[in-house]
Amino acid sequence: MSESTLPPAAAHVGDDVQRVDDAAKLTGGAMYASDLVFAGMLYAQVKKSPHARAKILAINTSKAKNLPGVHAVLTGKELDYRIGLYVVDKDVLAKDVVRHFGEAVAAVAAESLDIACRAVDLIDVEYEVLPPVLNQLDALDENSPLVHPDLGSYDYVKASFSPQPGTNIPNLTKIRKGDIDAGFAEAKWIVEREYTNPSVQHVPLETHVAIVEWKAGDEVTIWSSAQSPFTLRDLFCRAFKLPHNKVRVVIPHVGGAFGGKAGIHLEPLLACLSRKAGGRPVKFQATREEEFSLLPCRSALTYKIKTGVGADGRITAQKLLMYWDSGAYADYAVNVTRASAYSAGGPYDIPNAWVDAYTIYTNKPWGTAYRGFGHVEFFWGLERHMELVAEVIGMDPLEFRKKNLLKPGSTTLTGERINEHTGNPLKCLEAAASAINYGRLTPEEQERQARTGRRIGKGIATLHKAPAMPSFTSTAAVIKMNSDGSVVVNIALTEIGQGTATVVTQMAADRLRFPVSRVKVAVERDTDKDPFDWQTVASKGLLLTGNAVIAACDDLLRQAYLDAAQVLRAQTVDLDHDGEKIFVKQRPEESVTFAALSIGYVYPNGNGIGGPLIGLGRYTAQGLTSLDKETGQGLPALDWTYGAHGVIAEVDPETGEYTVIKIASAFDVGKVINPGTMRGQCIGGMIQGLGTAECESYIYDDQGHLLNPSLTDNKILTAKDLPEEIECIAVETPQLDGPFGARGVGEHPMISVAPALANAIHDATGAELTHMPVRSEDVWRAIHNRLPVDTWVTKAPAV
């Protein structure tokens, strides 16, 4: 295409365009995997372990098999298939041993859900109960039982991970930057503290659900609530040694995911049941209780931070030790560990750094991806620690952060040089701080404090995150023109609520100069029909898929121009187009409509030329590298999205009860594609972040039984728990290789909400909080057992 002669078309990018999936979702017409029913469909149920660690001595399934209406019963003994994303460590059904409470040990498929439930009750399992290892630090002890004695024999992705056979460590990631000893020697102060957080649940409103049909000839179809159809297909085919073209994955609407539906879950088990039941489709939907322990959670973390600071308030060195509780299987936890390791210092300039990040097996439900991919967890410690260090050295926490923020010319922990296009963490921090009038109480706040007797405090926290993905992550988009000149876009990035379909519609419309009404993004994802996408995770979709969609639009226009040049007896450089037609620049009345070209142009005498207009676009992350296994040096980051939160909290100093008066958050998204959907992503993440900050947590007894697998005992925030005021701020420092300058923001709003809240509570009361979630009783305890800050200072200037 050449320079356009037209004024810019009405732009949709940057505008409040309504979501394209609203009508279906608002009327109940949108079909989710849980709504699908097929002829001959059977219902699966699983028998679950009541123990955290046990030997399976015997399983008696004869009564279940004899129950009328039961078509298949399976135990682990009959199956020899193993699955695993990065470390292949999980049997499709537990074999010989169970490794966590709630693990599946047998499964049935029956004509109705009621029969399947009865059949599972009729299965008897005999166990020899063994003492579980529940705490990840205990699991490092050389006398600890091994969760996976065979770790050394498992397959794993060698470029990125380092399992330690003979231990409970499926991965250790190391980062080495500068000279750590010299950095600490140079420091005037050294401050060391440990921070912890428990496992939590994603709680998508739709629990995991799948239907699998394995027909004769190994023709497999999977309908699933999964986030990532191609990765699901790949993992499935590896487990069963099937060619990819035998397995089709279809993803309809998804009722929330948040990382918990990335990867592969019950699909392989359902496939085995279907094969055994003669190829009938088999459906399973997890109950809310099963969602907590049959399916994965977010890993617990213990984070030990040691920071050296110079006389000028600059960080000289940081030693960061991460102990990630993977639970019974490695799944995403090894990659959470890796991604957290290279991000571990936050958006700060740290000249000398040492990170050891361990993934550790325990006998608990396993940890997987969860919005933020480790960053919610480690930023809890990091941004509490920054507050503590500021307190120790007597500097205002905002000033201390500003002094140490990354700026153009700084290098990250892996040696990546930051420049002025990477994004602006300072602007985010200043915007969040000013939105809460940081550092002072307004007259209204003073009056409120006097009136209520509660203390008002203000806290800030920064954040950053880059997509955690293979260095060569790629995607593609196909855009097909219909005979009326409208288009359908096919991508494999799933719509899980984040608004992908809407922003892709806007970007395609602008690139084509079409109205949004002429662009449709196909609803279902289907690996037989859609072009490849790696996964719908990591906040990478907007950048990668956006670029692929732009390339697809250009490809379609290029073909249309070639055909139009022939029709109009012109060269493509002579042509321009608007939303309806391609025309000769010099004589716009000489034109041909897109509709006339769409499926091949027809001359008046009936001759046809051209053919259906189909654009293809591809995009691969540019220039990224693997990390050196000994030093962690390399280029892992597609883009960095920076952000910051400000929180105003009101605390009762007697009881520790608190409420959040305001949260204000700013993110450098490069370019806002859709203010309404971006604000929705942000507020949704901020409130999910407040849930993790205030109350969410798995609770186990000392035998590893999960005590609170329900929404009554594991609360998430309701509308009544909202802060009085929520403010959402966009910073736009264009990403040079982002579509329209944009970068992702799906996960970031949730990161660092917890430390911003705890910093506000600290400001109000002096409470030193090191464990998240922060419940009122924790605040009360921290207020009443206040330790002096010297407790954590291991080097200080002589007074």
Partner 1 sequence: MWMSVEVNGHIYEREVTEHWTLLRFLREDLELTGTKDGCSAGECGACTVMLNGQAVNACMVLAAEADGATVETIEAEAVDGELSEIQAAFARNYAVQCGYCTAGMVMSVRELLEHNPKPTVAEIKEGIEGNLCRCTGYQQIIEAVLDVSGQIDSKSRGGLKYV
Q: Does 259 bind ligand FES (CB under 6 A)?
A: no
Q: Where are the beta strands (DSSP E) in 438-495?
A: 455-465, 474-481, 487-490
Toward ligand FES, which CB reaches closer, 256 or 415? 256
Cβ 19 to ligand FES, closest distance in Å? 11
Q: Does 39 bind ligand FES (CB under 6 A)?
A: no
Q: Does 685 bind ligand FES (CB under 6 A)?
A: no
What are the structure tokens assigned to 250, written together?
A: 């279809």
Strands 209-215 and 282-285: antiparallel
C-alpha–C-alpha distance, residues 69 and 115, integer Å: 7
Q: Which does 186 bind (CB under 5 to 8 A by kind): ligand FES, partner 1, none?
A: none
Q: Out of 73, 251, 678, 783, which residue is the one contacting partner 1 (CB under 8 A)?
A: 678
Tell me which stretch binds partner 1 (CB under 8 A): 130-138, 601-609, 728-736, 751-759: 728-736
Would you put residue 63 in left (φ > 0), alpha (ψ -120 to 50) or beta?
Answer: alpha
C-alpha–C-alpha distance, residues 282 and 482, integer Å: 36
Q: Does 497 bind ligand FES (CB under 6 A)?
A: yes
Q: Which of 325, 336, 323 has its CA nearest to residue 370?
A: 336
How far is residue 572 from each of residues 575, 592, 609, measured CA to CA in Å?
Answer: 5, 13, 16
Number of helices (H), then strands (E), belonging to the chain: the values are: 18, 32
Q: Does 498 bind partner 1 (CB under 8 A)?
A: yes
Cβ 257 to ligand FES, closest distance in Å? 10
Window 213-252: contact mask with ligand FES (x via CB under 6 A): ----------------------------------------
What are the structure tokens assigned to 386, written together?
A: 């920054």
C-alpha–C-alpha distance, residues 334 and 170, integer Å: 7
Q: Give the binding-site size for ligand FES (rule: CB under 6 A).
A: 3
Q: Does 205 bind ligand FES (CB under 6 A)?
A: yes
Cβ 30 to partner 1, closest distance in Å? 6
CB 637 within 8 A of CB 576: no
C-alpha–C-alpha distance, residues 382 and 194, integer Å: 10
Sheet holding 282-285, edge to edge: 70-75, 104-110, 42-48, 282-285, 209-215, 219-224, 247-251, 525-526
Toward ligand FES, which CB reaches closer, 495 or 778? 495
Cβ 25 to ligand FES, closest distance in Å? 8
Cβ 18 to partner 1, closest distance in Å? 6
SS3 state at 664: strand
Toward ligand FES, which CB reaches closer, 497 or 685? 497
Q: Percent helix, strand and coil across the chain, each rounded to 5?
A: 30, 25, 45
Q: Does 755 bind ligand FES (CB under 6 A)?
A: no
CB 320 within 8 A of CB 192: no
Amino acid at the residue 786 = R
Q: Which does 325 bind (CB under 5 to 8 A by kind): partner 1, ligand FES, none?
A: none
Q: Does 676 bind ligand FES (CB under 6 A)?
A: no
Residue 163: asked if its preceding bond is cis (omega within 30°), the reply is no
Q: Out of 287, 483, 571, 794, which residue is the one contacting partner 1 (CB under 8 A)?
A: 287
Residues in the chain: 799
Q: Does 726 bind partner 1 (CB under 8 A)?
A: yes
Q: Does 255 bind partner 1 (CB under 8 A)?
A: yes
Q: Does 256 bind ligand FES (CB under 6 A)?
A: yes
Name which of residues 84 to 143 contact partner 1 (CB under 8 A): 114
Tell me which stretch binds partner 1 (CB under 8 A): 84-92, 250-258, 393-401, 558-566: 250-258
Q: Does 425 bind partner 1 (CB under 8 A)?
A: no
Toward partner 1, which CB reaches closer, 35 or 580? 35
Q: Does 680 bind ligand FES (CB under 6 A)?
A: no
Chain Cα centroid distance, residue 12 = 27
- The residue sitting closest to ligand FES, measured at its beta carbon, is 205
Encode burial over 465-486: b for 16+ CB neighbours within 10 A, e otherwise: bbbbbbbebebbbbbbbbeebb
Tell me which stretch binds partner 1 (CB under 8 A): 141-149, 485-493, 548-556, 686-694: 686-694
Toward partner 1, which CB reaches closer, 28 or 217? 28
Toward partner 1, which CB reaches closer, 12 or 177? 12
Name which of residues 208 to 227 contact partner 1 (CB under 8 A): none
Cβ 204 to ligand FES, closest distance in Å? 7
Q: Which does 644 bind (CB under 5 to 8 A by kind): partner 1, ligand FES, none?
A: none
Q: Which of 547, 570, 552, 572 has its CA nearest to residue 670?
A: 547
Cβ 497 to ligand FES, closest distance in Å? 5
Toward partner 1, which CB reaches closer, 1 or 722? 722
Cβ 675 to ligand FES, closest distance in Å? 18
Toward partner 1, which CB reaches closer, 61 or 207? 207
Q: Give the binding-site size for partner 1 (rule: CB under 8 A).
A: 68
Q: What would the DSSP string read from start to end of 131-192?
A: -----TTGGGSTTSPPS-TTGGGS-B-TTT---BTTTTBSEEEEEEES-HHHHHHH-SEEEE
Q: What would the DSSP string read from start to end of 742-771?
A: ----SSGGGTTHHHHHHHHHHHHH-----B
Q: Which does 114 bind (CB under 5 to 8 A by kind): partner 1, ligand FES, none?
A: partner 1
Q: Does 719 bind ligand FES (CB under 6 A)?
A: no
Toward partner 1, which CB reaches closer, 654 or 724? 724
Q: What would the DSSP string read from start to end of 63-104?
A: HHHHSTTEEEEEEGGG---EE-SSB--EESS--SEE-STT-E
Instruction: Tell me the β-bridge partners of 59.
Output: 125
Tell me which stretch binds partner 1 (CB under 8 A): 31-39, 157-165, 512-520, 584-592: 31-39
Q: State the DSSP code for 34.
A: G
Q: Which does 728 bind (CB under 5 to 8 A by kind): partner 1, ligand FES, none?
A: partner 1
Q: Does 146 bind partner 1 (CB under 8 A)?
A: no
Q: Does 420 bind partner 1 (CB under 8 A)?
A: no
Q: Out of 6, 10, 11, 24, which residue is the one contacting partner 1 (CB under 8 A)?
A: 24
Q: Does 686 bind partner 1 (CB under 8 A)?
A: yes
Cβ 269 to ligand FES, closest distance in Å? 24
C-alpha–C-alpha distance, residues 488 and 170, integer Å: 44
Cβ 35 to ligand FES, closest distance in Å? 14
Toward partner 1, which CB reaches closer, 22 or 219? 22
Q: Does 165 bind ligand FES (CB under 6 A)?
A: no
Q: What is the 3-state secondary structure (H, E, C) of 231-300?
A: HHHHHHHHHHCCCHHHEEEEECECCCCCCCCCCCCCHHHHHHHHHHCCCCCEEEECCHHHHHHCCCEECE
SS3 state at 61: coil
Q: Out of 556, 687, 693, 761, which residue is the one contacting partner 1 (CB under 8 A)?
A: 687
Q: Out of 205, 450, 798, 799, which residue is the one contacting partner 1 (CB under 8 A)?
A: 205
Encode burial over 689-706: b for 16+ CB neighbours within 10 A, e otherwise: bbbbbbbbbbebeeebbb
Binding site for ligand FES (CB under 6 A): 205, 256, 497
Binding site for partner 1 (CB under 8 A): 18-19, 21-32, 34-35, 37, 114, 202-207, 253-258, 285, 287-288, 427, 431, 496-499, 666, 672, 675-680, 683-688, 710-712, 716, 718-720, 722, 726-732
